[in-house]
Structure 1
Amino acid sequence: MKTFALASLAIALAAASSANAQDLPNRNTWLTDSVYPISHDNPAATDSVAHAGPTKGRKLGAADVKSVPTVFTSNPTVKKEGDQTIVIAAGIDGIRKINATGERYDLVSVLPYPGLEAYNAKASPEAIQALLEETDAARRAGDDGKLLALSKKVEALGFERRFVPNGVYNMIDKDGNHYAAFGGLQILKSTDDNDPQKPLRVVKSQNFASALPAELQKSAIVGMGMTYDGHIAAAAHGALMLVDRDLNLMGTLLFPGEAVENSICIDEKGGIYVVTSKRMLKVVWTGTKLSYDEADGGWETEYNTMSPEQAASMGALTRSGGSGTTPTLMGFGNDPDKLVVISDGDSKGANLVAFWRDEIPAGFKQKPGTKSARIADQIPLEISKATVEPSPAVLGYGVALLNNTYEKAAADIWGNAMTAGVTRPAPKGVVKFDWDTSSKSFKKSWVNTEVDNTDVMVPVISAKSDMIYLASKQNGDYEYVGLDWKTGKQKASWQFPDDSRKWNAWGGITALLEDGDLLIGGLFATKRVNVGGDQ
């Protein structure tokens, strides 16, 4: 393992002393009280948790990984129903309810999205298994051409760009209702009446296309969040909408000609942070309208971007050339600096960029190379030329980002997911920075050059274990690794039972259950991984 610790002891101590004990945002009481109520763990999208994760690696056996077939699911959400743990896995074709009580991972029901029943019927366990077997055979043969050709077969099951956002951003409210975006501009509200035995049923399905101008009606909702006063913010290409929990539209903010390609984050004061292909926005609800006007408490600023052609040539999922990350909040409670961070799309190489969330500090001067004084700092990642797709993982004033540049990019997302690290080079590397409250700047803490980021999987940080957990591959075979959050050194790895592509975590967000198990999505199946807990 090549790990290069770059921070001096003085910098590390300064960063530690500047962080408040409250490293995580306050819980949003409008969300269900669970370890994973919403995509990215919390409305601030920090992808960090207070409870412990596993610390001792091992080779996993077949009994350690339980799965439920699905063409593609990004990140299942979790709720408690009495003494039962229920997982709700929103995917391309519909929503699967899974009982995850104790060591279980048992399918309870499948709810197709309204209007997509035909895709749900195609996505049978038998069809998924047949595709997996063909993929495994092509991988074992090291056949790049066959792996790429299978893109047509997986597309026939629904894995195509227009459906990939289905269910990616989802959440469960305090009453146990589940919300998922699908089919372009639609949101599905479903429930199981908080009965572990009952199947999910539709409460309401609402299509918001008619609320948008004709040129935006073929857009898609690509992000959702819950405000701290119980409203749903939904971001789509060219628009942000605010709806109530009964899916009634309250307000719309348009920005035509600007792509939104990832989700949003929300602060406790009502700020909604949206990154488009051109600008970073803080949007507020005034009670009558959504606004980013400074007079209303919002703001806007440009940041560095590249051309769509350059982004496509590097295999970026974000084809607009803008940021590919969900904005992430940094600084909570009594922390002196309140920031929101992204990775930009700079044509010279991606940067970590921090923006002042609230008022720009008195006397702060715009830094060289930045687009405005709203940008608190920006620093080259150095490990990634293309914009990063997995969102920043934040704990305290530390933030980690992954390399997402495919050196020999395939023509589509399936091609990159299945050939990188097998027949083509994989994007490798993780870098961590610490915010220094004294100098108002980032300092590089460490770089780990070994983690394979083919799966564009968002990691999770355990504050109690002081570790970050990431999807990786070793010699082309899937594993999870745990790195020390302070040094970047690998402390543990968990190798999956065999070389099957079933164990991928592509396009997902890592969830850490209370017992230390990992909950991951990906292609072919959603998985519960018994990595041994905090042993």
Structure 2
Amino acid sequence: MNSFAGKKGGIFLSAAVGLLFLFLLLPGPAESLNKPAPNPFLSSEIYGITHFDSSQSDSTPFGPPRGAFRVDLAGKPVSYGGPVNIITLASTDPDFMWAVGTDRVAYVNIKDGAWEEVARFEALEDASGGDLPAIPGEKFREFGESSAEGMDVDEMDQFLGDLFGNNYGDRFGNGSYSVVDNENVLYTHFGDNLYGFALADPGDPSAGIAVRYVLENIITAIEGSGFPAITRLFGLSMAYDGHLIVTFSNGVAVIDRNLDLSSVHFYRFADYEYVSNSIAVDEDGGIYIASAGVLPQVGGMMRKLVWTGSGISDSPDDGAWQCAYEGSAVLPPMIKMGYGTGSTPTLMGFGENEDRLVVITDGAEQMHLLAFWRDEIPAGGERLAGQIPVTCGFEELPEWVQSEQSVVVSGYGAFVVNNLPGTVDPDLPGKNKILQVALMGPAYPTSYGVERFEWNPENDEWSSLWARPDVSSTSMIPVHSQSAGMVLVNGFTPGNGWEITGLDWNTGRTVHQTLFGRSNHGNGAYAVLQYLEDGELLFNAFSGPIRVQYDTGGSGGCSAGGSFAPSLMMLLAPLALLAAGRKK
């Protein structure tokens, strides 16, 4: 009797797990989104700009299949470069994309599943006058195919120096924000120069990439003398009237796309403020930008400026405003930069009767998710529409819960990640960001924790929908897939190595895994995840963007693209969440 009961229990458990597996593999419901208006001056509605669109949503119509896949990135076609390749941008020709890294720009043929670099310009070498020379692709391949496991700070520093030069840390931050316009001109920054790149012969991309426009020493050219020594060029966007918007650490400029200095309008911030991210814009000229204090406890400032077509306005009569937010008392030990927000502002709500918000995370050691009213404040309200602590479901909050990534937004849903490990080795603080991001995960403790929030327009408040303290997201920008109904992160775990983890947007269940293993190719290093039509992955790896086509034919193998049964963690995660009471 007991034996029979045990068998019955086993049968029922097997059936339950089987049904759970099938449920996990079902695609999520197609989402009806209230989207920002397409910007007619961008190359495409999606991927014409870093963070995907003018609202900076990091939400894409494309996404991967559900299930678990093991992918070997070695030997796949790569547009070598970096070591940070934040986004591969849409060309006006759908057969091509622009690849932008911290060292170069390239033009890549993507037609019929191809991934072939047809033209290249060594932009950092040009901007630095040869002080930061071009790096052969073989050196990026060598790094990508190696592993950081077992290395310490000195060993990795030596390895990176041998491959990329002793001044490799100076490569960080170049080309980090980019825009492609409707004439297929790519705008991005290297060193102190702002470039406009175009094909030398649009009819023959293999003829090369030319510098159509360049504004050298742009900070001095626009600001003259007397700016703070730490001033840097950061973000780029495109106004809905076709003007280029350029973000500096101490202000914002609007300029014609031919980079004519006579067309510049510049708005300067106070010298105690510092901007380290890009901006969001709306179709009415709104420019949303967040600064932080250059000293601890100064706090940050969230602003809306307005491009009127003839100037940059901070007047409330034009709809402009500013609102202070909390910063940290000390610098984060690694990965995240500065005392303030790590987020490029993201817009939320676009209908006529919608709550129209702009969202960021603040700079507090244990951060909050903030929402500000973009336009008029409801009667009796304040500019800060709502805030909520980010806990990521930790039973006991670590010293740091902080993000260097933008808030991912879809509808009234928001998703944030924690990029700070619970334990920081004392060898890592103060080291350059490339060194830190090369080591965190495989060689030193990684970061864990993600959380999904929902804005309630009836009550004008945030709520936490679900949290996963067991999910790793090291430094890569997460993305939301509309078609797959999931949010995706890149992280490292001791069991699987580098992977992409897909979580159901509504429940937080693990519904997708792309397992890369332990090689450095799987490290996304401050970049953004991207997906193409037909569910293909465009992985902007440390060594350069790589195209991955998933094999959903059920081959059962573990080779590139081969699918296999999901891991036990993938199957049991929903049950664990229920048991722990994490679902809300």
Equivalents in 2 of 1:489, 1:35: separation in Å?
Answer: 27
User: Relative to structure 1, is the Cα distance of residues 359 and 499 closer, same or farther in structure 2, using a 3 angstrom cutoff?
Assistant: same
The corresponding residue for 1:3 is none
SS in structure 1 at match of 2:274: coil
The corresponding residue for 2:373 is 356
Structure 1 residue 108 corresponds to structure 2 residue 118: yes
The corresponding residue for 1:388 is 403
Could you tell me which amino acid in structure 1 is paired with residue 206 of structure 2? Q
1:76 Cα deviation from its structure 2 partner: 1.5
Could you tell me which amino acid in structure 2 is paired with residue 98 of structure 1? V
1:395 Cα deviation from its structure 2 partner: 0.3
User: Relative to structure 1, is the Cα distance of residues 444 and 80 closer, same or farther in structure 2, using a 3 angstrom cutoff?
Assistant: same
1:180 and 1:187 in contact (8 A); partners too: yes
1:425 Cα deviation from its structure 2 partner: 1.4
1:155 Cα deviation from its structure 2 partner: 6.0
The corresponding residue for 2:43 is 32
- Contiguous gaps of at least 5 residues in structure 2: 1-30, 293-299, 393-397, 555-584
1:312 Cα deviation from its structure 2 partner: 3.4
1:520 Cα deviation from its structure 2 partner: 2.8
Equivalents in 2 of 1:121, 1:144: separation in Å?
Answer: 24
2:55 and 2:346 in contact (8 A); partners too: yes
The corresponding residue for 1:295 is 317
The corresponding residue for 1:521 is 540
Match of 1:225 among 237, 245, 248: 237
The corresponding residue for 1:4 is none
Match of 1:49 among 60, 69, 93: 60
1:458 and 1:470 in contact (8 A); partners too: yes
Equivalents in 1 of 2:75, 2:412: separation in Å?
Answer: 34
Structure 1 residue 470 corresponds to structure 2 residue 482: no
Question: Which residues of 2 match residues 410-421 of structure 1 at below 5 A?
Answer: 410-411=428-429, 412=431, 413-421=433-441
1:285 Cα deviation from its structure 2 partner: 1.6
Structure 1 residue 60 corresponds to structure 2 residue 71: yes
- Contiguous gaps of at least 5 residues in structure 1: 1-19, 365-372
Equivalents in 1 of 2:449, 2:133: separation in Å?
Answer: 39
SS in structure 2 at match of 1:346: coil
User: Relative to structure 1, is the Cα distance of residues 158 and 485 closer, same or farther in structure 2, using a 3 angstrom cutoff?
Assistant: farther
TM-score computed with the length of structure 2 as normaliser: 0.79
Q: How many residues align?
A: 494
User: Relative to structure 1, is the Cα distance of residues 444 and 149 closer, same or farther in structure 2, using a 3 angstrom cutoff?
Assistant: same
Could you tell me which amino acid in structure 1 is paired with residue 36 of structure 2? P
Could you tell me which amino acid in structure 1 is paired with residue 176 of structure 2? V
Question: Which residues of 2 match residues 156-175 of structure 1 at below 5 A?
Answer: 156=165, 159-160=168-169, 162-175=170-183
User: Relative to structure 1, is the Cα distance of residues 375 and 153 closer, same or farther in structure 2, using a 3 angstrom cutoff?
Assistant: farther
1:35 and 1:513 in contact (8 A); partners too: no
Equivalents in 1 of 2:528, 2:76: separation in Å?
Answer: 17
Show CA shifts across 1:481-506 (max 9, x none).
2110001110010112x421022111
Is the deviation greater in 37-46 or in 141-150? 141-150
1:78 Cα deviation from its structure 2 partner: 1.8
Structure 1 residue 235 corresponds to structure 2 residue 247: yes
The structure that has the greater radius of gyration is 2
Show CA shifts across 1:153-173 (max 9, x none).
46627642x542211111211
Could you tell me which amino acid in structure 1 is paired with residue 383 of structure 2? R
1:33 Cα deviation from its structure 2 partner: 2.3
1:423 Cα deviation from its structure 2 partner: 2.8
State the percentage of identical aligned residues: 27
Match of 1:311 among 331, 353, 359: 331
Aligned-residue RMSD, C-alpha: 2.4
Question: Which residues of 2 match residues 272-283 of structure 1 at below 5 A?
Answer: 272-277=287-292, 278-283=300-305
User: Relative to structure 1, is the Cα distance of residues 528 and 132 closer, same or farther in structure 2, using a 3 angstrom cutoff?
Assistant: closer
Show CA shifts across 1:375-428 (max 9, x none).
001111024725311111000000000001133151322332122222321111
1:48 Cα deviation from its structure 2 partner: 0.6
Equivalents in 2 of 1:149, 1:335: separation in Å?
Answer: 57
Equivalents in 1 of 2:68, 2:207: separation in Å?
Answer: 37
SS in structure 2 at match of 1:469: strand
1:24 and 1:48 in contact (8 A); partners too: no
Could you tell me which amino acid in structure 2 is paired with residue 268 of structure 1? E
Structure 1 residue 438 corresponds to structure 2 residue 461: no
1:352 Cα deviation from its structure 2 partner: 0.4
The corresponding residue for 2:267 is 253
User: Relative to structure 1, is the Cα distance of residues 111 and 21 closer, same or farther in structure 2, using a 3 angstrom cutoff?
Assistant: same
Equivalents in 1 of 2:529, 2:182: separation in Å?
Answer: 22
1:180 Cα deviation from its structure 2 partner: 0.7
Equivalents in 2 of 1:300, 1:174: separation in Å?
Answer: 32
1:469 and 1:481 in contact (8 A); partners too: yes
SS in structure 2 at match of 1:69: coil
1:289 Cα deviation from its structure 2 partner: 2.3
1:56 and 1:534 in contact (8 A); partners too: no
Could you tell me which amino acid in structure 2 is paired with residue 189 of structure 1? G
Show CA shifts across 1:466-523 (max 9, x none).
1112112232621112110001110010112x42102211111112112221223242
Show CA shifts across 1:19-74 (max 9, x none).
x9443212111111264111101010001123454323211245894312113222
Question: Which residues of 2 match residues 106-505 of structure 1 at below 5 A?
Answer: 106-113=116-123, 114-116=126-128, 118=130, 121-132=133-144, 136=147, 139-143=148-152, 145-153=154-162, 156=165, 159-160=168-169, 162-184=170-192, 186-192=193-199, 193-195=201-203, 196-207=205-216, 208-209=218-219, 210-212=221-223, 213-216=225-228, 219-248=231-260, 249-255=263-269, 256-277=271-292, 278-307=300-329, 310-313=330-333, 315-319=334-338, 321-347=339-365, 349-364=366-381, 373-383=382-392, 385-406=400-421, 407-408=423-424, 410-411=428-429, 412=431, 413-454=433-474, 456-475=475-494, 477-496=497-516, 498-505=517-524
Equivalents in 1 of 2:229, 2:511: separation in Å?
Answer: 48
1:191 and 1:202 in contact (8 A); partners too: yes
1:122 and 1:157 in contact (8 A); partners too: no
1:451 Cα deviation from its structure 2 partner: 2.3
User: Relative to structure 1, is the Cα distance of residues 94 and 61 closer, same or farther in structure 2, using a 3 angstrom cutoff?
Assistant: closer
Equivalents in 1 of 2:391, 2:538: separation in Å?
Answer: 30
User: Relative to structure 1, is the Cα distance of residues 127 and 221 closer, same or farther in structure 2, using a 3 angstrom cutoff?
Assistant: same
SS in structure 2 at match of 1:468: strand
User: Relative to structure 1, is the Cα distance of residues 332 and 127 closer, same or farther in structure 2, using a 3 angstrom cutoff?
Assistant: same
SS in structure 1 at match of 2:139: helix
1:218 Cα deviation from its structure 2 partner: 5.6
1:273 Cα deviation from its structure 2 partner: 0.4
Show CA shifts across 1:165-221 (max 9, x none).
21111121111111112213x211011153343321110111322221432476222
1:117 Cα deviation from its structure 2 partner: 5.6
Equivalents in 1 of 2:122, 2:552: separation in Å?
Answer: 34
